[in-house]
Amino acid sequence: MELIGRGREADVYALDGSRVLRRYREAGPTEREARLMAHLAARGYPVPEVYEATGTDMVLERLTGPTMTEALARRPWRVGSLGRELGRLHDRLHALPAPEWLPRRFASAGHDRVLHLDLHPGNVMLTPRGPVVIDWRNAAAGDPAADLATTIVTVGSAELSGPAVRLGRGLLVRALCRGSRTDPAGRIREAAEAKLADPHLRPAEAAWLRRRAGRAPEGR
């Protein structure tokens, strides 16, 4: 099989022209992830089609097109429109009530909604049929503000080089917030604290998150 993608938790292999294999390096809840993707697809939310899910493996529809991250690198002047699109993808998702079997995180005062909890530009594919959201492993039910806050701290903590790229990150976050009707401010600190549990964080990312969570720097 040809390796065509490698993330922090999983590798993606081409099976043929229409299917890929996503294989987690550690045991993961692929059956629940696949069930949620089928649930969302039935309600019109843009996700890849799932053909099979067993153990650490999922066979998925092969998507064509760049990720939103790749599109921003090639055409940085699109940061405003793509950031607003990312905000609208959040709102479309949060319009859907969470199924009873989805684990709860960041509980809301009202009805819990489906949260992706990793909905950043690297997990949005810009395909001929429109943007498609991938990688639903962290999904849960809860407060939409926490989902938007998680995206903000994920983008904010990412290691980037060069002042122009860092400026683009700030523009992206502002456009994201303009594109969504949700106010994430009350959940930023909590989202940063939750993100610190990620075992794949790099030292600079963890340091940024500790500051946003209000923690003292390590070693003190």
Comparing 2 with 90, the larger pLDDT belongs to: 90
Tell me which amino acid residue 206 is: A
pLDDT surpassing 50 at residue 68: yes
Cα torsion 66, 67, 71, 77 to 10°: value is: 150
Going by C-beta distance under 8 Å and a sequence separation of 6 or more, which residues neighbour residue 39? Answer: 99
Q: In which band, very low, low, confident or very high, does the pLDDT at 215 lie, cut at 50, 70 and 90?
A: confident
Q: Are 60 and 50 in contact (CB under 8 A)?
A: yes
For 186, phi and psi rounded to 5 degrees? -70, -10
Bridge partners, residue 37, by sequence: none
Q: What is the pLDDT of residues 171-203, one digit of tens each?
A: 999 999 999 999 999 999 999 999 999 888 999
Q: Give 34-54 pLDDT, tens digit per residue.
A: 999 999 999 999 999 999 999
Stretch 88-116: mean pLDDT, rounded?
93
Does the pLDDT value for residue 217 go beyond 80?
Answer: no
pLDDT in tens, 104-149: 999 877 779 999 999 999 999 999 999 999 999 999 999 999 999 9
Q: How far is the CA of 148 from the CAs of 68, 107, 110, in angstroms?
A: 17, 14, 17
pTM attached to this predicted model: 0.92
Phi and psi at residue 130, in whole multiples of 5°? 120, 180
Amino acid letter, 121: P
User: Is 155 buried (19+), middle (13-18) or exposed (0-12) by CB count in 10 A?
Assistant: buried
The 3-class secondary structure across the chain, one letter per residue, is CEEEEECCCEEEEECCCCEEEEEECCCCCHHHHHHHHHHHHHCCCCCCCEEEEECCEEEEECCCCCEHHHHHHHCHHHHHHHHHHHHHHHHHHHCCECCCCCCECCCCCCCCEEECCCCCHHHEEEECCEEEECCCCCCEEECHHHHHHHHHHHHHHCCCCCHHHHHHHHHHHHHHHHHCCCCCHHHHHHHHHHHCCCCCCCHHHHHHHHHHHCCCCCCC
Report strand pairing: 113-115 vs 140-142.
antiparallel
